[in-house]
Amino acid sequence: MTRTKVGVLISGRGSNLQALLDAAADPAYPAEIALVMSNRPGAGGLSRARAAGIDARTIDHTAFENRESFEAALDEGLRAAGCEIICLAGFMRVLSAEFVSGWPNRILNIHPSLLPAFKGLDVQRRVIEAGCTLAGCTVHIVTPELDDGPILAQAAVPILPDDTEETLSARILEQEHRIYPAALAWLASERVRMVGRRAFVDGTSAIGALLAPEPDYSHS
């Protein structure tokens, strides 16, 4: 089986990266992590990648004169590694419309809210302050608009009466580690079809496909 090569962009400890690395260790998984790049030297995720035998590099955004030259270096590295899909895993830089347009429907992001609600930062604090009873996470196709684009997968968690930002974040992160590998597998195996702003997997709503208890790679 020929596996789709994936580049993962990170800025921090790389817990979602680890979930992708663990999934890709399965020979039946349709994606191969070919490259990990961080805009921050010393990001913990770089060590995770190297421990898995993956090419891991730092492209420090502060070393470039402008965003265009920084993104050009990212693009060059990804294409040289043969990457066909990009996964953003805690990558704390907003990509320009020009960069995104060069990878149409081939960039995935995971966000710790049930989009389109609560875009941006400090999500768990905001959902608790808003009195919400549900929180969650979303994997979506990246578009030039922040935290926008067709939704591939979502998972919800209850907000408990005594939840803090930290406890809620921890429960959401568990779901992130479940749905991100599943969504990447769907995209890498070309099972995703976009119709306007909606995404479908094998002709079924991608969100509905998550009702299965575990990710299924058998169609890959």
Catalytic residues: 111
Q: At what angle do helices 15-24 and 165-188 cross, to 10 degrees?
A: 40
Query: CA 128, CA 163: separation in Å to the nearest integer?
Result: 8
CB neighbour class for 136 (10 Å; exposed up to 12, middle 13-18, buried from 19):
buried
Query: CA 30, CA 24: separation in Å to the nearest integer?
Result: 8
Measured in whole angstroms, the distance separating CA 12 from the mean position of its chain's CA atoms is: 13
